Amino acid sequence: MRIALRERLASHNPYWVGEKALHAVESDPRAVKTDAAHTRNPHYQLGLSLAPAYIAFARHIVEHAESFDRVYFLSREGWMFMRMYHRIAAALGVRQHKPRGTYLAVNRRLSFLASMDGFTQPEIARIWAQYPGQSLRRLLKNLCLPEDVFFHLAARHGLTDPDKPIRRPRAHPEFSSFVDDPHVQRAFELHRDELRGNLTRYLGQRGFFNAGRVALVDIGWKGSIQTNLHRAVRGRDDCPEMHGIYFGLDHKPAMDEPGSTRHGFYCDTRVGDWMSECLLTHNSVFEMFATAPHGTVAGYHRDRRGWVHAEAQVEAEESRNFRGKFREVWQGISDYLSDYLDTPEALRTGAAELRPAVVDRVRRYVLYPTRAEATAYLDYSHVESFGVFQVSRYHFRGSWRWILGKRPYRHAPARLMKTLRAAVARRRAQAVGRAVLVVAGRSRRDPPPRAVSGTVERRPARLAGASAANIRENPHDYLASTPSARSDA
């Protein structure tokens, strides 16, 4: 009866085409666990909820891959999409017609330094525009520059407190003098040129400069890694044309340059679709569970043969995540993908047809989470490896006694907002604050509360127990591996 109803609806409304395909996957579970333990496990269920969004995006990449000579998946979220790309192409029987998918070990920190034309105020302002109030220590960490060298040079210009925030760098006389110092400029160029050389050689090893047009696949959100890569190598005669394919894109016109274009699949702010833009208000959940568990890229080194290798560093907080609740979410994603690949009706449905139904489901999760979903989300944490270097947590850390019990009672709403604002995260996570209110007592039948900002717990930049590993080693394989996926890892 339900299948017949969906078929009738699909013939009149494109939304139901995708919903009908997803229902075909979910109505006959084979790999997906349906026992009571997994049904009650909110982390496994979250994996089942996220899987259609990841799968439809990977399907979109497969359908458009022939427009490019090579398809590159950027670390770390690109790892999941590369796995899905290979498996979906194989299931569709088109793998031999698609360009090779290759994993690139890059991140914002390393690519930012390589992209800089010089250590100047306009270049530095690119960081301040997104992360204002940088201290000298944090700036050097964002630029991968050694503290021992630059702290000594900074002290000569009166910058004796490396942890003091610099609010207005252009109007800061000591900082301006530091930036203009010829010794600082030479030290900067030395480290930038070394990193740029290693990065360029690494890209060459991955066939980057042998292609005329390449696709860069990532989760989003502004596409800054793509911008940095283009700025770093645009002076080469063999620099390829780059096009970014993103899960979601918060488009910034200043990042567009000739030879570097981009688009977002679910969300692209140039379109002005308010329904899909809700994804950007709670983007951390999509980023967290697409992240490969090999850690962030810490740098590059050359072996005796001159071959460049990328190294990864796993923070202690991330390691705990990967061994705990994240593994359960990944298992749900993996099981759903297996059922999708084994459902002919779903494979016959294109990414564009799946998208409306997926956006509707994502919007429901972001704006109207159930009590179980909101409670589960508070167990997660997100490690920021660029800009602020902190661990974002989502537990409510205020005092309900102070908020509700203090006189005058009419000021309770203002005290609540003050508490939330005191711990606001820079990322736009309005749904997190909503989750706090959900857990505080809202039932599923209650009307959804208004969106408020999320909370964040600051942690030292250096977490105890951090370890380094060569990124050539395969990380924990949370999706079933394929020979083609392993060959490009």
pLDDT tens profile 114-126: 999 999 999 988 8
Residue-level pLDDT at 437: 46
The pLDDT of residue 381 is above 80: no
102 pairs with which residues across the strands? Answer: 72
Residue-level pLDDT at 392: 62
- The structure's pTM equals 0.81
pLDDT tens profile 227-259: 999 999 999 999 999 999 999 999 988 888 899
Which range has highest mean pLDDT (52-66, 141-155, 275-289)? Answer: 52-66
> How far is it, in rounded angstroms, from Cα 247 to Cα 268?
9
Percent above pLDDT 70 for the chain: 80
What dihedral angle (degrees, nearest 10) is formed by the CA atoms of 386, 162, 460, 127?
-20
The pLDDT of residue 397 is above 90: no
- Rounded mean pLDDT of 291-317? 87
The residue length of the chain stands at 489
The pLDDT of residue 215 is above 70: yes
Q: How far is CA 463 from CA 316, 318, 433, in A?
A: 6, 10, 26
The pLDDT of residue 456 is above 90: no
Domain ranges of the chain: 2-105+207-364+466-487, 110-196, 369-439
The pLDDT of residue 436 is above 50: no
Compute the half-sphere exposure of residue 266: CA atoms within 13 Å on the CB side of its CA. Answer: 31
Find out whether the peptide bond into 76 is cis, omega within 30 degrees of 0. yes
The phi, psi pair for 68, rounded to 5°, reads: -130, 155
Provide the pLDDT confidence category of residue 130 given band limits of 50, 70 and 90. Answer: confident
Provide the pLDDT confidence category of residue 461 given band limits of 50, 70 and 90. Answer: very low
- Rounded mean pLDDT of 178-191? 95
